[in-house]
Amino acid sequence: MFNTIGEIILLFTEFLRALPRAWRERQKVYEQLYEIGNASLLMACILSIFIGGVIALQTGPVLVERGLSNAIGGLVGLSMCKELAPVMMSVLIAGRIGSAMTAEIGSMRVYQEIDALRTMNINPVTYLVLPRLIAISIALPTLVVFSVLVGWMGGGLVSVYNHSISITFEAYFNNLSEMVDLKDVLNGLIKSFCFAVIIGLVACQQGFETIGGPRGIGRSVTKSVVNAIVSILILDYFLTRLLLFMDNKP
Amino acid sequence: MSTSAPQHTNVGLTVGELHKSFAGVPVLKGIDLTVAPGELFVLMGPSGSGKSVLLRHLIGLEKPDLGEVKINGRSIDDEALRDECRMAMVFQSGALLNSLTVGQNVGLYLSEHRLLPAEEIEQVVAEKLEIVGLKGQEDRPVSELSGGMRKRVAIARALVMEPHLILYDEPTSELDPLSALTIAEEIVELNRRTGATSVVVTHDRDLGLGIADRIGILFDGELLQVGKPEEIRNSNHPLIKKFLGVDFRLTNTNR
Ligand SMILES: Nc1ncnc2c1ncn2[C@@H]1O[C@H](COP(=O)(O)OP(=O)(O)OP(=O)(O)O)[C@@H](O)[C@H]1O
Ligand SMILES: [Mg+2]
- Domain termination residue (choose one: B146, B162, B178): B162
How many angstroms is it from B47 CA to the middle of ligand 1? 8
**B 86-105 near A (Cβ less than 8 A):** 86-89, 91, 93, 95-99
Q: Which residue of A has its CA nearest to B108?
A: A120
Q: Are residues B67 and B183 in the same domain?
A: yes
Q: Are residues B82 and B127 in the same domain?
A: no
Q: pLDDT class for A99, splitting at 50, 70, 90? A: very high
Q: Is B2 contained in some domain?
A: no
- Whether B52 is in the pocket of ligand 1, judged by its Cβ within 6 Å, is yes
Q: Are residues B156 and B185 in the same domain?
A: no
Residues in chain B with pLDDT values less than 70: 1-9, 247-255
- Average pLDDT of chain A to the nearest whole number: 92
Looking at the complex, report in whole angstroms how far the Cα of residue A49 sits from the nearest Cα belonging to chain B: 35
Of A249 and A26, the one with more pLDDT: A26
Q: Is B112 contained in some domain?
A: yes
Q: Is the pTM for the entire model greater than 0.80?
A: yes
How many angstroms is it from A126 CA to the middle of ligand 2? 29
Of A206, A192, A172, residue with least CA distance to A56: A172
Rounded Cα distance between B154 and B168, Å, is 10
Q: Is B3 contained in some domain?
A: no
Residue B115 near chain A (CB below 8 Å): no
* Type of residue numbered A218: G
Residue A9 near chain B (CB below 8 Å): no
Give chain A positions within 8 Å (CB) of B88.
119-120
Q: Are residues B176 and B76 in the same domain?
A: yes
Rounded Cα distance between B234 and B243, Å, is 12
Looking at the complex, report in whole angstroms how far the Cα of residue B74 sits from the nearest Cα belonging to chain A: 17
Whether residue A51 has pLDDT greater than 80: yes
Position B2 scores a pLDDT of 41
CATH of residue B179's domain is 3.40.50.300
Of A64 and B56, the one with more pLDDT: B56
Q: Is B92 contained in some domain?
A: no
Q: Are residues B153 and B183 in the same domain?
A: no
Q: Is B104 contained in some domain?
A: yes
- Domain termination residue (choose one: B138, B162, B186): B162
Query: Cβ(B168)–Cβ(B198) under 8 Å?
Result: yes
Number of domains in chain B: 2
Looking at the complex, report in whole angstroms how far the Cα of residue A197 sits from the nearest Cα belonging to chain B: 24
Rounded Cα distance between B125 and B121, Å, is 6
Q: Are residues B42 and B139 in the same domain?
A: no
Looking at the complex, report in whole angstroms how far the Cα of residue A126 sits from the nearest Cα belonging to chain B: 10
Tell me phi and psi for residue B7, to 5 degrees: -105, 130
Q: Is B1 contained in some domain?
A: no
Residue B205 near chain A (CB below 8 Å): no
Nearest residue by C-alpha to atom 25 in ligand 1: B47
Q: Which residue of B has its CA nearest to A112?
A: B95
DSSP B50: S
Tell me phi and psi for residue B40, to 5 degrees: -110, 105
Q: Are residues B101 and B142 in the same domain?
A: yes
Give me the domain span that covers residue B194.
Answer: 9-86+164-255
Q: Are residues B153 and B176 in the same domain?
A: no
Rounded Cα distance between B99 and A60, Å, is 50
Q: Is B72 contained in some domain?
A: yes
Position B73 scores a pLDDT of 86
Query: How many contacts, defined by CB atoms under 8 Å, are there between A and B?
Result: 48
Q: Where are the alpha helices (DSSP H) in B59-135?
A: 79-84, 102-112, 118-131
- How many CA atoms within 13 Å lie on the side-chain side of A164? 10
B127: Cβ–Cβ under 8 A, 6 or more apart, which residues?
A: none
pLDDT tens-digit series, residues A112-125: 999 999 999 999 99
How many angstroms is it from B53 CA to the middle of ligand 1? 6
pLDDT tens-digit series, residues B36-85: 999 999 999 999 999 999 999 999 999 999 999 999 888 888 888 887 88
Q: Are residues B156 and B181 in the same domain?
A: no
ipTM score of the complex? 0.88
Q: Are residues B78 and B115 in the same domain?
A: no
How many angstroms is it from B56 CA to the middle of ligand 2? 10
Query: Cβ(B57)–Cβ(B16) under 8 Å?
Result: no
CB atoms within 10 A of CB A27: 9
Q: Are residues B156 and B170 in the same domain?
A: no
- Domain termination residue (choose one: B162, B185, B202): B162
| pLDDT, mean of residues A131-151 | 95
| pLDDT, mean of residues A53-74 | 88
Query: Cβ(A169)–Cβ(A152) under 8 Å?
Result: no
Give chain A positions within 8 Å (CB) of B82.
121
- Residues bordering ligand 2, an ion, CB closer than 5 Å: B 52, 92
- Exposed, middle or buried by CB within 10 Å (0-12, 13-18, 19+), for A66? exposed
- Whether B251 is in the pocket of ligand 1, judged by its Cβ within 6 Å, is no
Q: Are residues B124 and B230 in the same domain?
A: no
Inter-chain contact A120–B97, Cβ cutoff 8 Å?
Answer: no
| pLDDT, mean of residues A62-66 | 87
Integer angstrom CA distances of residue B199 from A162, B18, B151:
76, 17, 16
Q: Is B137 contained in some domain?
A: yes
How many angstroms is it from B52 CA to the middle of ligand 1? 6
Query: Cβ(B51)–Cβ(B203) under 8 Å?
Result: no
Position B76 scores a pLDDT of 87
